[in-house]
Chains A and B, each alone.
Chain A
Amino acid sequence: MRRLSLSDIAKPQLLALAFILVLNWMVFPGFFNVTWQDGRLFGSLIDVINRGAPVAILAIGMTAIIATRGVDLSVGAVMAVAGAVAATSAVAGQPLIVTLAGALLVGLACGLWNGSLVAFLGIQPFVATLVLMVAGRGVAQLITEGSIVTFSDPALIFVGTGSVLGLPMPAVIALILMIAAHLVMRRTAIGLFVEAIGTNLSAANYTGLRARTVILGLYAFGGCCAALAGVIAAADIRGADANNAGLWLELDAILAVVIGGTSLLGGRFSIPMSVLGAVIIQAMNTGILVSGLPPEFNLIVKASVIILILVMQSDRVAEVVSRRFGRMTTRGK
Chain B
Amino acid sequence: MNIVRKLALSASMVALCCTAASAANLTVGFSQIGSESGWRAAETSVTKQEAEKRGVTLKFADAQQKQENQIKALRGFIAQGVDAILVAPVVATGWEEVLKEAKEAKIPVVLLDRGVDAPQDLYLTSVASDQVKEGRVAGEWLAKTVGSKDCRVVELQGTVGSTPAINRKKGFEEAIASSKNISIVRSQTGDFTRSKGKEVMEGFLKAENGGKNICAMYAHNDDMAVGAIQAIKDAGLKPGTDILVVSIDAVPDIFAAMMKGEANATVELTPNMAGPAFDALDAYLKSGKQPAKFIITESKLYTPADDPKGEYERRKGLGY
Q: Are A295 and B157 in contact (CB under 8 A)?
A: yes
Q: Are B207 and A237 in contact (CB under 8 A)?
A: no
> Contacts A237-B194, A243-B37, A244-B191 given: A286-B230 contact, CB under 8 Å?
no
CB nearest to B227 among chain A residues:
A237
Q: In the complex, A120→B222 CA distance in Å? A: 46
Contact with B along A144-166 (1 / 0, CB 8 A): 01111010000000000100000
Q: Are A146 and B319 in contact (CB under 8 A)?
A: yes
Stretch at the interface among A11-19, A39-47, A84-92, A271-279: A39-47
Q: Are B195 and A42 in contact (CB under 8 A)?
A: no
Q: Are B207 and A292 in contact (CB under 8 A)?
A: yes
The yes or no answer to A332 lying at the interface (CB within 8 A) is no
Q: In the complex, A245→B193 CA distance in Å? A: 9
Task: Give the residues from 201 to 247 in chain B that come closer than 8 angstroms, CB to CB, to chain A.
Answer: 202-204, 206-207, 210, 223, 226-227, 230, 234-236
CB nearest to B195 among chain A residues:
A237
How many chain A residues have a CB neighbour from B under 8 Å? 37
Contacts of A47 in B (CB 8 A): 199, 202-203, 206
Contact with B along A15-43 (1 / 0, CB 8 A): 00000000000001010000101100011
Q: Are A148 and B203 in contact (CB under 8 A)?
A: no
The yes or no answer to B35 lying at the interface (CB within 8 A) is yes
Q: Are A241 and B193 in contact (CB under 8 A)?
A: yes
The yes or no answer to A94 lying at the interface (CB within 8 A) is no
The yes or no answer to B198 lying at the interface (CB within 8 A) is yes
Contacts of B235 in A (CB 8 A): 37, 42
> Contacts A51-B199, A141-B35 given: A147-B194 contact, CB under 8 Å?
no
The yes or no answer to B95 lying at the interface (CB within 8 A) is no
Contacts of B202 in A (CB 8 A): 47, 51, 289
The yes or no answer to B51 lying at the interface (CB within 8 A) is no
Contacts of A150 in B (CB 8 A): 253
Minimum C-beta distance from A176 to chain B (A): 22
Q: Are B195 and A295 in contact (CB under 8 A)?
A: no
Minimum C-beta distance from B215 to chain A (A): 17
> Contacts A146-B41, A147-B319, A243-B37 given: A233-B189 contact, CB under 8 Å?
no
Contact with A along B145-177 (1 / 0, CB 8 A): 000000000000100100000000000000000
CB nearest to B234 among chain A residues:
A161
How many chain B residues have a CB neighbour from A under 8 Å? 36
Q: In the complex, A51→B200 CA distance in Å? A: 11
CB nearest to A144 among chain B residues:
B38
- Residue among A141, A148, A292 making CB contact with B186, cutoff 8 Å: A292
CB nearest to B165 among chain A residues:
A295
Q: In the complex, A47→B320 CA distance in Å? A: 30
> Contacts A51-B199, A237-B227, A296-B160 given: A43-B194 contact, CB under 8 Å?
no
Q: In the complex, A190→B126 CA distance in Å? A: 63
Contact with A along B4-35 (1 / 0, CB 8 A): 00000000000000000000000000000001
Q: In the complex, A213→B194 CA distance in Å? A: 39
The yes or no answer to A61 lying at the interface (CB within 8 A) is no
Contacts of B49 in A (CB 8 A): none
Q: Are A146 and B230 in contact (CB under 8 A)?
A: no
CB nearest to A168 among chain B residues:
B234
Q: Are A28 and B195 in contact (CB under 8 A)?
A: no
Contacts of A147 in B (CB 8 A): 38, 41, 319-320
Contacts of A38 in B (CB 8 A): 236
The yes or no answer to A319 lying at the interface (CB within 8 A) is no
> Contacts A244-B191, A289-B188, A295-B160 given: A237-B198 contact, CB under 8 Å?
yes
Minimum C-beta distance from B189 to chain A (A): 4
The yes or no answer to B187 lying at the interface (CB within 8 A) is yes
Q: In the complex, A180→B71 CA distance in Å? A: 54
Q: Are A245 and B203 in contact (CB under 8 A)?
A: no
Q: Are A241 and B41 in contact (CB under 8 A)?
A: no
**CB<8 Å pairs between A and B, sample of 7:** A28-B206, A42-B236, A147-B38, A148-B194, A237-B198, A243-B37, A244-B196
Contacts A47-B203, A244-B194 supplied; 5 other A-B pairs, CB < 8 Å: A37-B235, A42-B210, A141-B35, A146-B40, A237-B227
Residues on B facing A (Cβ under 8 Å):
35-38, 40-41, 157, 160, 186-189, 191, 193-196, 198-200, 202-204, 206-207, 210, 223, 226-227, 230, 234-236, 253, 319-320
Q: Which 9 A-B pairs have the closest CB atoms?
A: A289-B203, A295-B189, A244-B193, A146-B35, A290-B207, A237-B194, A146-B41, A147-B38, A44-B206
